């Protein structure tokens, strides 16, 4: 496995690649959610590239960006085990030669839910995803359903800008207690990890969104939103200083009950 940090070197390598290319964009601090995307990409493509780039422009709080764990050594060891061919890990200066003066923004979907609570997040995310797709030129790119609104926005950008890449959506990977895996979970202690399971439990319950919100608040979560749309129930909550998001597909059972409650 080759780890490439230099943009020029990367461009030369990309020119030389033959066959189908799968791409998994990440910000590192990898867990099984990421490795499952990589394993699927490995099965479906001749060459697999994973990027590790902690994108400063998509963090709407400086502290969150600073606290984001950088674990390049451990990440590369995991990726090597899965048989990833290239890890592309450029510097912020290489990715933003324009000092982020050129941006990709979406004006409707990006304003809802996550967009309301994380202003600027989706513009930073779409901008970096477009740059990474241009640099890696994959046939397929793999995104998790855990960040469902991100996935929808990436698909929308691909269509709107006629990008020649297939977006492969992959199911959320969960811990045994049902909690969606997230790099932020490493900031939770054992008790908090147990408590976090309530979020996914309530999302799949047949309680209304309001009732889910109330129960979470009673248990000490600070709730930003619980909403049913796009065929899913989505939520964002704070557990002390850690922000958690999750979403589940609406089954017939809970759609019926949400609608009638
Ligand atoms: O989902 C993520 O980890 C990031 O938003 C992504 C897609 C790697 C862009 O920085």
Give the tens place of pLDDT for each residue, 108-148: 999 999 999 999 999 999 999 999 999 999 999 999 999 99
Q: Which of 23, 24, 25 to mutate to test ligand 1, by most ligand atoms within 8 A of the CB atom?
A: 25
CB of 26 closer than 6 angstroms to any ligand 1 atom: yes
Burial 122-141 (b: 16+ CB within 10 A, else e): bbbbbbbbbbbbebbebbbb
SS3 at position 256:
helix
Q: What is the DSSP letter of 144?
A: E
Question: Could you tell me the distance, in angstroms and rounded to a whole number, from the CA of residue 85 to the centre of ligand 1?
Answer: 20
Q: Which residues are catalytic?
A: 34
SS3 at position 227:
strand
- pLDDT tens profile 139-167: 999 999 999 999 999 999 999 999 999 99
CB of 55 closer than 6 angstroms to any ligand 1 atom: yes
Burial 211-245 (b: 16+ CB within 10 A, else e): ebbebbeeeebebbbbbbebebbbbbbebeebbbb
Task: Provide the pLDDT for residue 142.
Answer: 98
The token pair at 71 is: 């674990």
Residue closest by Cα to atom 8 of ligand 1: 26
Q: What is the mean pLDDT of the chain?
A: 95
Atom of ligand 1 at shortest range from CA of 58: 10
**Cα(first)–Cα(last) distance of the chain, in Å?**
53
CB of 29 closer than 6 angstroms to any ligand 1 atom: no
- pLDDT tens profile 41-52: 999 999 999 999
Atom of ligand 1 at shortest range from CA of 129: 9
Residue 91 to residue 177: CA distance in whole angstroms: 37
SS3 at position 146:
helix
Please name every residue paired with 24 in a beta bridge, in sequence order, or none if there are none.
Answer: 50
Task: Provide the pLDDT for residue 254.
Answer: 60
Question: Could you tell me the distance, in angstroms and rounded to a whole number, from the CA of residue 257 to the centre of ligand 1?
Answer: 34
Which band of pLDDT confidence, cut at 50, 70 and 90, is reported for residue 30?
very high
Question: Could you tell me the distance, in angstroms and rounded to a whole number, from the CA of residue 79 to the centre of ligand 1?
Answer: 17
pTM for the structure as a whole: 0.95
Residue closest by Cα to atom 3 of ligand 1: 26
Helical residues (DSSP H) of 45-147, grouped into ranges: 62-67, 72-82, 92-95, 114-117, 121-136
Domain boundaries, the chain: 2-170, 183-260
- pLDDT tens profile 73-106: 999 999 999 999 999 999 999 999 999 999 999 9
By the 8 A CB rule, do 181 and 31 touch? Answer: yes
State which fold the 183-260 domain adopts.
3.30.1300
Which band of pLDDT confidence, cut at 50, 70 and 90, is reported for residue 252?
low
Q: Which of 84, 63, 91 is nearest to 21 (CA)?
A: 84
Atom of ligand 1 at shortest range from CA of 54: 10
Q: Which of 110, 115, 90 is nearest to 154 (CA)?
A: 110
Task: Provide the pLDDT for residue 35.
Answer: 97
CB of 157 closer than 6 angstroms to any ligand 1 atom: no
CB of 136 closer than 6 angstroms to any ligand 1 atom: no
Q: What is the DSSP letter of 57?
A: G
10, 18, 66, 119 from 237: Cα distances, Å: 39, 44, 20, 16
* Distance of alpha carbon 195 from the chain centroid: 22
CB of 239 closer than 6 angstroms to any ligand 1 atom: no
- pLDDT tens profile 183-214: 999 999 999 999 999 999 999 999 999 999 99
By the 8 A CB rule, do 146 and 172 touch? Answer: yes
Phi, psi of 139 (to 5 degrees): -80, -35
Question: Could you tell me the distance, in angstroms and rounded to a whole number, from the CA of residue 234 to the centre of ligand 1?
Answer: 18
State which fold the 2-170 domain adopts.
Rossmann fold (3.40.50)
Q: Which of 31, 63, 37, 52 is nearest to 171 (CA)?
A: 37
The token pair at 123 is: 């513009």
Atom of ligand 1 at shortest range from CA of 25: 8
Stretch 211-231: mean pLDDT: 97
């Amino acid at each position: 496995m080759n780890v490439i940090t230099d943009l020029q070197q990367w461009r030369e390598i990309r020119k030389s690649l033959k066959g189908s290319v799968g791409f998994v964009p990440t910000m590192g601090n990898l867990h099984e959610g990421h490795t499952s995307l990589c394993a699927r990409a490995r099965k479906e493509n001749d060459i697999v590239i994973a990027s590790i780039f902690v994108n400063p422009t998509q963090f709407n709080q400086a502290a969150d960006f600073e606290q984001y764990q950088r674990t390049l050594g451990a990440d590369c060891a995991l990726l090597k085990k899965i048989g990833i061919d290239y890890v592309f890990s450029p510097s912020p200066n290489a990715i933003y030669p324009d000092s982020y003066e050129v941006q990709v923004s979406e004006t409707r979907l990006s304003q809802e839910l996550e967009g309301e609570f994380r202003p600027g997040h989706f513009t930073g995310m779409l901008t970096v995803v477009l740059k990474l797709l241009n640099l890696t030129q994959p046939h397929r790119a793999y995104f998790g359903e855990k960040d469902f609104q991100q996935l929808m926005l990436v698909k929308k950008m691909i269509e709107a800008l006629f990008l020649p890449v297939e977006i492969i959506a992959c199911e959320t990977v969960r811990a045994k207690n049902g909690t969606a895996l997230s790099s932020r979970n490493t900031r939770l202690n054992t008790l908090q990890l147990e408590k976090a399971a309530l979020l996914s439990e309530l999302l799949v319950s047949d309680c209304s969104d309001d009732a889910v919100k109330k129960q979470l608040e009673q248990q000490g979560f600070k709730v930003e939103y619980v909403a049913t749309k796009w065929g899913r129930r989505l939520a964002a909550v704070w557990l002390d200083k850690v922000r958690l998001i999750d979403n589940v597909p609406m089954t017939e059972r809970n759609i019926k009950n949400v609608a009638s409650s």
